[in-house]
Amino acid sequence: MRNATFASYLKHQASLHPSMTAQDGVKLCYQAAFGAEHLLTDPAQARAALWAEFTQILPRQIEIFEPLSVEYSRCNLAAWKYWQLPLEGLFQIFQRSAAEKREDAGPLFMDYLQIVTACVEQGLLPFNREEWRSYLDCYLAGGVRPVHHSETYRQKEKPAYRVIKREYEKLLPVLERVIAITGRAEPKIIAIDGRAAAGKTTLATLLSQVLTAEIIRMDDFFLPAELRTAERLAQSGGNIHYERFCAEVLPNLKKKESFSYRRFDCRTMDYAESRLIQSSPWRIVEGSYSCHPAFGEYMDCRVFCDISADEQMRRIIKRNGPKMAAVFAGEWIPMEEQYFKAERIKARADVIIK
């Protein structure tokens, strides 16, 4: 399965860039396995290089992301500039992608080289068997290492990109929305609502890295036992302590100063230590009920994370186990769905992530 997937990415690269040589094939395999870790030994220098290259590049309406493997993509600077996306955001994505290393990158690289060999044998790539064998033998004799693009490729394809982890691609719709609200006063607020197991926490974490944002978790506002009456739980979104959110968080969200709030631990069903929210240009409120009507229009951007019912249960069983999955299915998911329908949460979202 992995071989067939990488072969499809390889052939896609060849169709996009017909000037690919054997040397560029090795480079693609290296990036597909190792990512860009070898390019970021000096973050300050890497930042300066990105800014300098971005200044010179002409904007073009081309693919923003070109997949290299299941894990990595090339992010085209010309497309990033065309869509006027935040350059600092791209640098943060690139930096964090480069910092994460795979333990099996070496063996994976060798597997990818074999897949190139198979594709060359079938005549699916722009270079022939002799060119590939000659370059590959010379390359392997010098040990596994990064290489530059060939001169032919640089002259005809004019590559200008950064290698990033593909998980960051899901941020693109939100970053596009960010462009529309950069003129508003800071801190700016993103609310991430959506279905259980749809990836809200992952999305918030990635966004916080890119935007240098603090995260307020709606899980910290689980409703205490003494308030969990039948009448309360029958309300739309009634199983969240929205009154405490309104008192401890809402008045402080738009202030530049740091603030803290009490965190409720649903495992102990009691209050735990306070959570400090540092001063930051962006703040993210993450979790189901983050767009509860009791909070008003506090956010600059509404995000809804969606997922199919079958995939939702598969993830919940894997994450929480069968016993807790039954609780989700019997109690929490029906309450969420009631809230989503009654308050039209998905329909009112600025961005929907599937």
At residue 273, the 3 state secondary structure works out as strand
pLDDT the model gives residue 101: 79
User: Of 121, 94, 126, 98, nearest to 25 (Cα)?
Assistant: 126
- Residue-range domain boundaries for the chain: 2-166, 181-353
> Running along the chain, 354 residues long, what does each successive block of 10 average in pLDDT?
83 97 98 80 89 96 95 96 88 89 91 97 97 98 96 97 94 87 85 97 93 95 94 92 97 96 92 95 96 96 97 96 96 95 97 95
Query: In this structure, are strands 351-353 and 188-194 parallel, antiparallel, or unpaired?
Result: unpaired
- 181-353 adopts what CATH topology? Rossmann fold (3.40.50)
Evaluate whether 109 touches 144 at the Cβ level (below 8 Å). yes
Its pTM stands at: 0.83
